[in-house]
Amino acid sequence: MTETEPIVFIVDDDASVCKALARLIRSAGLRVETFLSAHDFLERGPLNAAGCLVLDVTMPELNGLELQELLSAENCPLPIIFLTGQANVPISVRAMKGGAMEFLEKPFDDRTLLEAIHKAIVRSRQQVSNYHERCQLQQRFESLTPRERQVFKLVVSGLLNKQIAYELGIVEKTVKVHRARVMAKMQAGSLAELVRLAEKLNLPSDQL
Amino acid sequence: MEWLRKFFLRIDHYPLSYRTLVYVLLCSSTFTLIATAAQLYIEYRRDVSNLHASIEFIKNSYLAPISASVYKIDSEHLKLQLNGALNLTDIVHLTVKEPRRGRIIETSVGDLTARNLMRRDFTISYSDASLQKRNIGTLTVSASLDGIYQRLWSRVLTVLVTNAIKTFLASAGILAIIYWLITRHLNQISNYTESIHPAKQVAPLALKRKPLPPSKADELDRVVSSINALQNRVKEDIARRQTYQERLRQAKQKYRTVADYTYDWEYWVKTDGSLEYVSPSCERMSGYSVQDFKKNPELLGEIIVAEDKGIWAAHNLNREKNLKPGELQLRIRRKDGEIRWIEHVCQPVRDTQGVLLGFRASNRDITERKQAELNALRDRAELTHVSRIATLGELSAALAHELNQPLTAILSNAQAARRFLNEEMMDLDEVKEILDDIINDDKRVADMIRRLRKLMRRKDLEFTSINLNQLIRRFAELFNREAFTKNVPLVLELAEGLPNVQGDEVHLDQVLLNLILNAAEAMETVDRQLKELRIWTVKHDEKSVRVSVRDRGPGFDEALIERIFEAFWSTKPEGMGMGLSICKSIIEAHGGRLWAENNPDQGATVSFTLPISTGNEA
């Protein structure tokens, strides 16, 4: 999945801007999809491919920033390049804090936009691959039994088997068995790798 | 003789006495002459008859003795007898002729030198014893009338002299009497009447004589009393007239003072065009003196500036029309060249019979007021402009966005096109499409900039015939964007066949902009689904078209709805409070009306009317 062609999504209420941007981005050899409103974009469906979102801040009904919040809440990995007709500090700060890649003031040079898009796509690819990895890890993690998850958490927190046995009130031998299963299920070759996977999972403590 | 000379000199002073005297003299002389002539005639007749008597006497008494003497030839005796007869009055000559023996013996006494003789012959006869009468001679008696004439003459002289003396004395007496009784009083009266003078207090006239009892008053007394009465009447009359004159003078002074001290320039022009009165304030206003205006009654018309001369001429053609105050305003060029504004009012002046006496006019210097008006107008235009700029300033972010959209599209299109051209396989159709888009976007920007420049430009009201629907549609095209109307859908309901209105496009744009922004702002807190901004046009009445802008916001506070059009009244913390007040003044300058009302359901509607232009229909 990571090899799928990245898509650049353009959301701008101005049809002619949409059309022109689409041409420009297409001229750089990228796949483009345009939307005249945030709602149209949201209706499009799964967005887990690599790519980026070129988003106009000022739009009727749902504006750019509101869309960013919605996407961020849905954990959408798409990097966002904001476009604005008005350089407004509070809006740009809000956008950048919300994780925007770039904040471009209209009108902008083609190279500026395309560089930002390329950068965003690189990041998106990364994010998409991270996403997929995390999805795999998640699947692996979800295959663990509750006891194995407990052991997993305590192992990556740096406790010795003995200590884990004491914590869980079981014998050390049982801990060793669980630990071996965890290593196998999580496909971790070493304790260090297991710790790295745990970090990637970034598990909320209540899941443990 | 000195007194006589004096007397004749004085005659000039007493012509009446002199004339009286002359008439009296003439009359008395005439009567005297007639009487004297009559008397003389009678005396002449008596003398003549006496003469005849003397001759008869000689005939009767002397003829017989003389006959006897002649008969006896007693010459002695005869002579004696003849001399005796000669002694009789006026008998001057006696001759006895007796023929004796062939000759005539003549015996004469007296002489015959006297003229005017009268002769009588008597026959001397003698009667003898036989009583036969025998003529023995003739007696011739000659009497002279000279004596009679002489006596007559001396009598004439006597009568004339005595009558002359008598007449002179009588005249002198008459003169003195006339002088004493009449002339001196007449002189006194004339001197007195001459001395009568309104300024002098003169005692009543009293004649210098012993006063007569009223019952015996003569003509002079009547003259005196009537002169005194006349003098009293004249005195009273003069006093009354003086009172009237004083009152009149005071009244004149009073009105003159009122007129002369008027601040405005008052004047009264008579029907012949001359000036009856000009108040001195004309000099303060025009720099020309009262004399200048009196000398040249047309001066006012001449100093009116060329641009206003037409108004003045039109007014002069119909001066009887009642002017409303402020209706006629003109500029005049003062003597020193300065231009002043005056307001002119006038009205016809008529006497009690309704005859036109001219026109009373008043010019008021309204330069200061006019200046203030002009300043206020300029200030209002300035304020309108500032407010418009401020509104646009508030919209600058939105405007930048709206301008940047097409610019972005153009730039991106152009850059895309360049990239396509760099490629080996370029799609000409695509490039053509790009160019079309670029052209359209460019036009869009240009249109917007043109419109913005129009709104930014400072401009006085300039009325043209405007299709209001078209104006609103174009306006909505430009401003019906999220950036401006804050997510408010704009709904237009424009009446078909709406007549054109008289208006200024930019100022009407400003009104629409303000009303739309206000309406949009009013709905900021309203749910997105409920937001709606509706603009509709309708023919309000025969003369005007109405535009209404309706929002679905909270509406106006009913208690304050009247105050929202006041300047510096704002419900917005950052508002200048000029928007609605300026909209109102713009619409009123168009001759329309702007008002606000709350909707029965929700929100408020602001409406304005504009007069239908007299031109064609939309």
- Calculate how close chain B gets to A95, using CA atoms only, in Å: 17
* pLDDT per residue as tens digits for the range B249-266: 999 888 888 888 888 888
The label of the residue with tokens 């999945």 reads: A1
d(CA B517, CA B549): 11
Question: Is the pLDDT at B66 greater than 80, yes or no?
Answer: yes
Q: Show the beta-strand stretches assigned E in B113-179.
A: 117-127, 133-144
What's residue B481's pLDDT? 66
Specify the amino acid at residue B396.
Answer: S
What's residue B611's pLDDT? 92
Closest CA to B185 of B227, B229, B242: B227
DSSP state of B256: H
- Per-residue pLDDT tens listing for chain A (208 residues): 445 788 899 998 888 899 999 999 988 889 999 999 888 888 887 666 788 999 988 787 788 888 888 888 887 778 899 988 776 778 788 888 888 888 888 888 888 999 999 999 888 888 878 777 878 888 888 888 888 888 888 888 888 888 888 988 889 899 999 989 988 888 888 888 888 888 877 765 544 4
With CB atoms and an 8 Å threshold, state whether B412 touches A84.
no
What's residue A2's pLDDT? 42
Q: What is the ipTM of this complex?
A: 0.73
Q: Mean of the pLDDT values across residues B103-111?
A: 83
Closest CA to B160 of B251, B33, B18, B7: B33
Q: Tell the burial category of B516 from Cβ atoms under 10 Å away from its Cβ (0-12, 13-18, 19+).
A: buried
Asked if the C-beta of A58 comes within 8 angstroms of chain B's C-beta atoms, the answer is yes
Closest CA to B309 of B325, B332, B288: B332
Closest CA to B264 of B344, B365, B333: B365
Residue B138 falls in which region: left (phi positive, over 0), alpha (psi -120 to 50) or beta: beta
Q: Mean of the pLDDT values across residues B293-320?
A: 85
* Radius of gyration of chain B, Cα coordinates, nearest whole angstrom: 70
* Nearest CB neighbour to A61, from listed B402, B420, B528: B528
Is-above-0.90 flag for pTM? no
**3-class state of residue B446 by DSSP:** helix
- Calculate how close chain A gets to B481, using CA atoms only, in Å: 8
Q: Are B175 and B17 in contact (CB under 8 A)?
A: yes
What's residue B94's pLDDT? 86
Q: Are B399 and B392 in contact (CB under 8 A)?
A: yes
* Nearest CB neighbour to A16, from listed B403, B417, B441: B441
With CB atoms and an 8 Å threshold, state whether B416 touches A26.
yes
State yes or no: cis peptide before A107, omega within 30 of 0: yes
Sign for the CA dihedral angle at A165, A170, A172, A176 comes to negative
Closest CA to B24 of B162, B142, B173, B141: B173
Which residues lie across from B344 on neighbouring strands?
B363
Sign for the CA dihedral angle at B280, B284, B286, B291 comes to positive
DSSP string, A61-97: SS-HHHHHHHHHHTT----EEEEESS--HHHHHHHHH
Find the angle CA(A106)-CA(A108)-CA(A113) to the nearest 5 degrees: 115
Closest CA to A135 of A63, A196, A51, A48: A48
Hey, of A8, A11, A23, which one would you mutate to test binding to chain B, going by the most B CBs within 10 A of its CB?
A23
* pLDDT per residue as tens digits for the range B39-52: 889 988 988 898 88
With CB atoms and an 8 Å threshold, state whether B409 touches A83.
no
The pair of three-digit structure tokens given for residue B448, joined into one six-digit string: 């917007």
* pLDDT per residue as tens digits for the range B190-223: 888 888 776 777 788 888 888 778 788 888 888 8
Q: What percent of chain B has pLDDT over 90?
A: 8
The nearest alpha carbon in chain B to A61 belongs to: B487
pLDDT band of residue B323 (cuts 50, 70, 90) is low
Helix B367-394 and helix B505-522, axial crossing angle in degrees, nearest 10: 50
